[in-house]
């Protein structure tokens, strides 16, 4: 970021777990229902109602903890976090304070373009808590009432708190991308930021570089209201510059000012002050008397660890080492999800050419998915059909340019590549026919022949164009080779 300071970043990620019901009651967690239709006396905090823990939510939290190398204690409990806000009907949030369900883990991050060295980011803790409701403000005119939707109240969240180990917005984005990928591979959350399934708060300050033996650190700022990973990256970059400018102006350090909260204004691309940050003592935590502690045995943890799916980092290494594709290509495929990985591996095995399979998946398959706004499992061409097209290219029955046309036809047809090629009049040119065409073209272009003899290799391009006009089915690569061989013998 700068030669004048180091940027210190820690992230708090709230993940909505993929349960059908809320954390302490049986209300649905389905997104998009009419306001205040998915509530009950428990999640509304009515007197006399008693919460009961959702075992599936705890299981999903445990699976995530194991994937993030967190230690799972045998004993954990629930605590009440007391604060008042209009969308918090109970006046407290059920969370975990001093005995979280998991702590002291890590996550490896890297960049396929090698813009930073691979590093281990520590994770302080991951704990369960219930979500609050949603306040809907009239932010446009500022005149209407604020409305409260309590459907989200009580939805199970897993809060994952990192160590302040990241040193650039790029590292922070890489951490978030890897974390989201792990969560989706595990199936513990859909991580849909537009629906609030994944929310990020960033803690950032600067360590100023100076000759002073004592470390100079700026006050910590927590940034909220970021609705995309790109917004997180931009907010951190802006905040680093703002803090440095403020330190130059005021000289205030972490000893002179409390932690504050600022909101990210995505339209203006600036952070704006919101409030001073509370300490844990302000929330008056105490054990929830209505909920029993949770005991987790070593056997339960071991069973979860053994049942974990293959994680993204391991898949990247396997694709790179096992199939010989570049690290960047492996990263692109893995980032599309497990369905894309399976599709690529099946295609590579059927064609026997991993590099060609990787190129077609990255360039053509992903392009179609983007253009048609499809998920990978909705892609209309099966592995069997696409492998038939790629084998035709490998056998020089069709060149890559015409194969793209066949591919386009296959998208809206259930026919295999050979059938569509036959309909389009595409067939392999036999050797004798190709030899005669090469001789004909060379005889008609003595100037090009002379250029080729003098080492002007680009002259063959015009010859290929002429040949394609006479016979669109020729393979340009084979035609080029025969041209050069024949010219050498002249």
Q: Dihedrals φ, ψ of 161, to 5°? A: -110, 120
pLDDT digits (tens, 9 = 90+) for 274-307: 877 667 778 899 999 999 999 999 999 999 999 9
- What is the pTM (predicted TM-score) of this model? 0.87
Pick from 486, 62, 80: nearest CA to 283 = 80
pLDDT digits (tens, 9 = 90+) for 204-243: 999 998 877 778 999 999 999 898 999 999 999 999 999 9
Classify burial at 463, counting beta carbons within 10 Å of its beta carbon; exposed 0-12, middle 13-18, buried 19 or more. buried
Pick from 473, 477, 469, 467: nearest CA to 443 = 467
Domains of the chain: 5-300 (no CATH), 309-424 (no CATH), 431-489 (1.10.10)
CB atoms within 10 A of CB 69: 15
No. of H helices and E strands in the chain?
16, 16
Q: How far is CA 485 from the centre of its chain?
A: 50
Tokens 């513990």, residue located: 188
Per-residue model confidence (pLDDT) at position 430: 64
- Asked if 449 and 456 count as a contact pair (C-beta separation under 8 A), the reply is no
Pick from 306, 324, 327, 305: nearest CA to 316 = 327
Q: Could you tell me whether strands 79-82 and 92-95 are parallel, antiparallel, or unpaired per DSSP bridges? A: antiparallel
Residue 384 has pLDDT above 70, yes or no: yes
Cross-strand bridge partners of residue 16: 157
- Asked if 259 and 276 count as a contact pair (C-beta separation under 8 A), the reply is yes
Contacting residues for 352 by C-beta, under 8 A, at least 6 apart: none
pLDDT digits (tens, 9 = 90+) for 423-448: 887 766 666 766 777 777 777 787 77
Alpha-carbon span 361 to 407, nearest angstrom: 12
Contacting residues for 21 by C-beta, under 8 A, at least 6 apart: 27, 28, 29, 54
pLDDT digits (tens, 9 = 90+) for 310-345: 999 999 999 999 999 999 999 999 999 999 999 999
Query: In percent, how much of the chain has pLDDT > 70?
Result: 94
Tokens 């050797």, residue located: 431
């Amino acid at each position: 970021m700068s030669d004048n300071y180091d940027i210190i970043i820690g992230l708090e990620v709230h993940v909505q777990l993929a349960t059908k019901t809320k954390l302490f009651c049986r209300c649905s967690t389905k997104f998009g229902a009419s306001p205040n239709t998915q509530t009950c006396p428990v999640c509304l905090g009515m007197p006399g109602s008693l919460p009961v823990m959702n075992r599936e939510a705890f299981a999903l939290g445990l699976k995530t903890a194991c994937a993030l190398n967190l230690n799972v204690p045998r004993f954990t409990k629930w605590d009440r976090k007391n604060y008042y806000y209009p969308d918090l009907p109970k006046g407290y949030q059920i969370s975990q304070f001093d005995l979280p369900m998991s702590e002291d883990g890590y996550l490896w991050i890297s960049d396929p373009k090698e813009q930073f060295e691979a590093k281990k980011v520590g994770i302080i803790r991951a704990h369960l808590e219930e979500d609050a409701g949603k306040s809907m403000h009239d932010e446009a005119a500022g005149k209407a009432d604020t409305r409260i939707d309590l459907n989200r109240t009580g939805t199970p969240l897993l809060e994952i708190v990192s160590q302040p180990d990241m040193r650039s917005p790029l590292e922070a984005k890489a951490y978030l991308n890897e974390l989201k990928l792990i969560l989706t591979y595990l199936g513990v959350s859909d991580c849909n930021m537009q629906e609030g399934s994944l929310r990020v708060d960033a803690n950032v300050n600067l360590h100023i570089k100076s000759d002073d033996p004592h470390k100079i650190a700026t006050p910590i700022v927590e940034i909220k209201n970021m609705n995309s990973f790109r917004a997180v990256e931009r907010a951190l970059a802006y905040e680093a510059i703002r803090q440095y400018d403020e330190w130059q102006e005021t000289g205030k350090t972490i000893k002179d000012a409390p932690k504050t909260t600022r909101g990210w204004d995505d339209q203006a691309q600036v952070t704006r002050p919101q409030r001073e940050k509370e300490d844990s003592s302000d929330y008056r935590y105490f054990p929830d008397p209505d909920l029993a502690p949770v005991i987790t045995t070593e056997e339960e943890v071991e069973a979860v660890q053994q049942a974990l799916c293959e994680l993204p980092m391991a898949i990247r290494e396997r694709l790179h080492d096992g199939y010989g594709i570049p690290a960047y290509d492996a990263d692109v495929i893995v980032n599309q999800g497990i369905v894309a990985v399976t599709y690529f591996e099946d295609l590579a095995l059927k064609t026997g050419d991993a590099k060609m399979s990787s190129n077609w998946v990255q360039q053509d398959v992903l392009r179609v998915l983007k253009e048609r706004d499809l998920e990978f499992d909705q892609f209309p061409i099966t592995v069997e059909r696409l492998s038939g097209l790629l084998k035709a290219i490998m056998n020089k029955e069709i060149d890559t340019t015409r194969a793209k046309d066949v591919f386009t036809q296959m998208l809206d047809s259930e026919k295999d590549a050979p059938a569509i090629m036959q309909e389009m009049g595409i067939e392999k040119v036999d050797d004798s026919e190709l030899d005669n065409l090469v001789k004909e073209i060379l005889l008609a272009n003595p100037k090009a022949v002379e250029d080729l003899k003098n080492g002007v290799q680009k002259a063959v391009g015009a010859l290929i164009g002429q040949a394609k006009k006479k016979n669109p089915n020729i393979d340009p690569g084979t035609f080029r080779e025969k041209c050069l061989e024949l010219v050498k013998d002249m």
